[in-house]
Chains A and B, each alone.
Chain A
Amino acid sequence: MTRILPRKDVVIVGLGWTGAILANELTDQGLDVLAIERGPWRDTATDFNIGYAQDELRYSVRRDLFLQPVVETMTMRNDPSQKALPMRDFGSFLPGNGVGGAGVHWNGHTWRFWDSDFKTKTNLASRYGAARIADLQVEDWGVTGAEMEPYYDQFEYLAGISGKAGNIKGQLQQGGNPFEDARARDYPNPPMEMTYAPAMFAEAGRSMGLHPFPTPSANMSRSYTNPLGITLGQCTFCGFCERFGCANYSKSSAQTTILPVLMRKANFEVRTNSEVLHVDLHADGKSARGVTYVDSSGEEYFQPADLVLLCAYGLHNVRLMMLSRIGRIYDPNTGEGTVGRNYCYQTNAGTQVFFDDKNFNPFIAAGALGQTIDDYNGDAFDHGPLDFVGGSGINCIPTNGRPIGTRPTLPGTPKWGSAWKKATVQGYKSTLSFSAQGSSYATRNNYLDLDPTYKDRFGRPLMRMTFDFPDNDIRMSNYLSDRMEDIAKALGGKQYSVARLKKGWNSVPYQSTHNTGGAIMGTDPKRSAVNTFLQSWDVPNIFVIGASAFPQNAGKNPTGTVGALAFRAADAIRNHYLRNPGAPLVQA
């Protein structure tokens, strides 16, 4: 028996970064907004209490803040010929759960993608010829870097990003990233003070003619009051960002930048511990009439709404679309259907340099406190003589020195026993790590759909993820490993080890929670699920907001772009959609 609730103007599925941004913007517009959040309410003083927020066992090892597979998991395989099996535990990536979403426990790397990233397909084809990308299914986003700039700016000022501009209105800025697109103004806060390891990494990079710069960080370099009047505190370098909530109000999240204002509004409500089962469509399938959700007691509700915004984690947005029959599920055999198309990830490889005489004090750290080299990222370098497209940021961001997880040892060290113990004592203080975070380009056979076999606790099919690193991306990553080796040599040290990525994505060891695509944006409804304002082509009173909209992933963390896309969608809804609700903003 489903209880029918009073209508709302807007229902938002998920109250993380994008849900909170949209809710705040649309309540400012005077709309009556309800957010439905699967996980619990979370607040700094009670949930990230300074006395236990830094509990590595609870939050990092046992992943207390994350989505548990019993609530929702998915099946995985490397290619369509295999039978997919359910992930019994999340490993390679760790989706968030609860108010604030994964924005609660991120590190805070806050990037802008470049104009060349937004025009991946046309740019690569014109520069290197269409044959170079024949094996790939890359797409243009349908927006330009210049169009995205004001929305990046909005997100960076909301979140108080600490950084150094490299290009203000076309003028290159000393100490910033020379490869970035022009921005209207500098970051709201100066870069964080560098610790020893990234300072040394930057010096080595400069000595090689590379262009290191401070990683743009959502850890506050100083106390900051954002445009909503909400104040964040200066980061204390405690080194408990990723996998943890910040106890010091120093890391931007919905909690520290939006919710104190949003929660006070009479026209906003959040229902926590409530899971949306599907979006309900009218009989013609062309407009949504609300959502059906279930609360923690198992009671089922129908919540009518004029506008439905999917603001869950990107993967969950895609699954909700599939379960709700919004659009058509992608079929790799025919290339038809758009929902589930162009699932991408991130292509990473790490390097460690071992010293005898250095003490990096790794416990003095913050999630985004470090230096980046973008000389080999995106299309910043000429791929003409190379056998791949794409690239990586090379990042020296020693995010933490937590005692359980930080145990660097020389290659060849035994994995346990007294020799291992001795090696970890030596390695803890004197190891410098950096890594290449690479682009992930779409292929025909990397995609998401519904699993034919496995179901969740409500009897709904699990989502099936079919993914392996494309050959292009492996070649890219190995090229970057060579470049990292160059830097490792320049750093000195007695020994180094550089990882080389191989085929066969493994869902067990942690790699990256940067899952993108599946409901990609674009200008052609045959090849994209949403238009360039993230409005569903098929059901125009649904917007699907998140990294699900990325046609492919760049060699950068996605959150900055996710935040900018959220502001862009909000702008389109406020200033265009509401003038003629229910109508498509772009004619197919």
Chain B
Amino acid sequence: MRALRITLAFCALTLALGPALGADQADQIIRGGDQAVLGDCAGCHTQPGGRPLAGGLQLETPFGALIPPNITPDRDTGIGNWSEADFRSMMRTGIGHEGVRLYPAMPYPAYTRMTDQDISDLWAYLTTVEPVSNKVEANQLPFPFNIRLSMAGWNMLNFSEGAFTPDASKSAQWNRGAYIVQGPGHCGTCHTPKSILGADKDSQFLQGASLQGWFAPDITGNAQSGLGKWSQDDLVKYLRTGVNAHSIASGPMAEAVENSTSKMTDADLTAIAVYLKSLGPGGDNAQPAKPDQARMVTGEAIYRDNCSACHGGDGAGAGALFPALTGNAIVAQGNPETLARLVLAGSQAVHTDHAPTTPSMPSLAWRLQDQEIADVLTYVRNSWGNAAPAVSSGDIAAVRKELTQ
């Protein structure tokens, strides 16, 4: 043991005395680590509790299942025999080592906006990750989607390669925010509605989308369904801690906060907030039709019995513990999928160092029928200043079916 220590000390000494390149490389690896945080590589490529980047949990897409592969530098089962050029090509075009075409579940349509330097840094970092031998068969798709060559056509139709172009009329901070959101942060991968081919509908950028049984909400400046009521500080607080006065992250966003946004620098979080706050209200701000009064009465009774103990008689919630239902974007989405899921399956809140409580919404699927959930959600969506379309029992039934499959 003592001998080993001496050897290590000697190596450290040699490193310290080495050429300036060594220090540069160290800096690059540190910057690359930051890029891995911005890009949330771990969110998909690390299983909860698993070895870092050695392959993730199965992703359900509308086309079938994919498993995020092992991206450690293991030569046999990871990307140890890739070159930096392979990696750059993959990030830029979705075409990786030996010309293999990736599916856009890997968000190369966003990563293509990254700068050469950032991609190079990220590569430098990935080469330093501990290699793990773990064979992952990424492609679980059914025919014909399992033919990777089909992605050539997909790219032709849906993909445009190219780095982020700064807007010279905006501040450096705004441009930094735009770069993260559109590029490495790949926010649109979840929050932008998809075409029938699974491509981003750019005209509805960040207006909210359904994926993996959750509805990723509108994060434009829309005052009703988006973040129009959030201040810049609200946004920074949410991204840093997972919790603010309006909402508590759970589901896939909890993962994004835990692995990525909570580890970003305050400067980057502020830049993201500046950019998002500059986005106009996507979609329309039209008031939805007022729901049926009888359903509101029923919904209120169900709310008092089942929800008010935590969320309050007035929907005000309790700080970091029980989310407010007033002015909460999740409540106000056109699509009630996440709401239905929360009531049926429950959900545990994000864990960050700033918000360690991890309170849970209990499952009420066993207690409330579809029509009752539809009524109580309709009530919540149209009380205390909220206004969102009524929820039907069919909406609930669809989510219940998905959850029980």
Chain A residues proximal to chain B, CB less than 8 Å? 43-46, 49-52, 223, 225, 228-234, 236, 238, 247-249, 260-261, 264
Contacts and interface: CB of A to CB of B under 8 A. Distances in A.
Contacts of A50: 306, 309-310, 362, 364
B318 A234 contact: yes
B380 to A, nearest CB: 16
Q: Which of A43, A45, A223, A234 has the most chain B CB within a 10 Å cutoff? A: A45
Interface in B319-364: 319-322, 346, 348, 351, 353-364
B367 interface: yes
A-B CB proximity, top 7 nearest? A45-B360, A45-B362, A51-B367, A49-B362, A231-B357, A231-B320, A229-B356
Contact of B361 (A45, A52, A234): A45
Bin chain B's interface residue count. Answer: 20 to 34
A46 B353 CA distance: 23
Contact of A260 (B306, B319, B358): B358
Nearest to B366: A51
Given A50-B309, A249-B359, A45 B348 contact: yes
Contacts of A234: 318
Given A45-B363, A229-B355, 10 more contacts: A44-B359, A44-B362, A45-B360, A46-B363, A50-B306, A231-B319, A231-B359, A233-B322, A260-B351, A260-B356
Q: Which of B319, B355, B356, B360 has the most chain A CB within a 10 Å cutoff? A: B356
B309 A223 contact: no
20 contacts: A43-B360, A45-B362, A46-B360, A46-B363, A49-B362, A50-B310, A50-B364, A223-B319, A225-B320, A229-B353, A231-B319, A231-B321, A232-B321, A233-B318, A233-B321, A236-B309, A238-B309, A247-B309, A261-B356, A264-B351
Contacts of B367: 51-52
Contacts of B359: 44-45, 231, 249
A230 B319 CA distance: 12
Q: Which of A46, A50, A261, A264 has the most chain B CB within a 10 Å cutoff? A: A50
B362 A264 contact: no
A544 to B, nearest CB: 30
A446 B279 CA distance: 76
Which DSSP category, helix, strand, loop or mixed, fits chain A's interface? loop
Nearest to B352: A229
Which DSSP category, helix, strand, loop or mixed, fits chain B's interface? loop
A238 B351 CA distance: 28
A59 B319 CA distance: 30
B356 A249 contact: no
B259 to A, nearest CB: 14
Contacts of A264: 351, 356
B249 to A, nearest CB: 15
Contact of B363 (A49, A249, A260): A49
Q: Which of A44, A51, A223 has the most chain B CB within a 10 Å cutoff? A: A51
B362 A46 contact: yes
A270 B320 CA distance: 27
Contacts of B366: 51
B361 A260 contact: no
Contacts of A232: 321
A230 to B, nearest CB: 5
Contacts of A228: 356
Given A45-B348, A223-B318, A223-B319, A229 B362 contact: no
Contact of A51 (B320, B321, B354, B364): B364
A389 B326 CA distance: 58
Contacts of A44: 359-360, 362
B63 to A, nearest CB: 33
Contact of B321 (A43, A45, A223, A261): A223
B351 A248 contact: no
A586 B319 CA distance: 47
A234 B367 CA distance: 25
A502 to B, nearest CB: 42
Contact of A247 (B319, B346, B348, B362): B362
A392 to B, nearest CB: 34
Contacts of A233: 310, 318, 321-322
A478 to B, nearest CB: 42
Given A46-B362, A49-B362, A228-B356, A249 B321 contact: yes
Contacts of A247: 309, 362
Contacts of A261: 356
A43 B356 CA distance: 15
Nearest to A236: B309
Nearest to B354: A229
Nearest to B310: A248
Contacts of B362: 44-46, 49-51, 247
Contacts of B363: 45-46, 49
A396 B306 CA distance: 30
A52 B365 CA distance: 13
A51 B368 CA distance: 10
Nearest to B355: A229
A234 B316 CA distance: 13
Interface in B68-110: none
A46 B351 CA distance: 18
A571 B319 CA distance: 33
A258 to B, nearest CB: 10
Nearest to B319: A223
Q: Which of B318, B320, B364 has the most chain A CB within a 10 Å cutoff? A: B318
A456 B167 CA distance: 77
B50 to A, nearest CB: 14
Interface in B356-398: 356-364, 366-367
A483 to B, nearest CB: 38
B351 to A, nearest CB: 6
A52 B367 CA distance: 9
Contacts of B306: 50-51
A116 B356 CA distance: 39
Interface string B220-258: 000000000000000000000000000000000000000
B356 to A, nearest CB: 5
A261 to B, nearest CB: 5
A84 B361 CA distance: 48
A446 to B, nearest CB: 43
B216 to A, nearest CB: 23
Contacts of A260: 351, 356-358
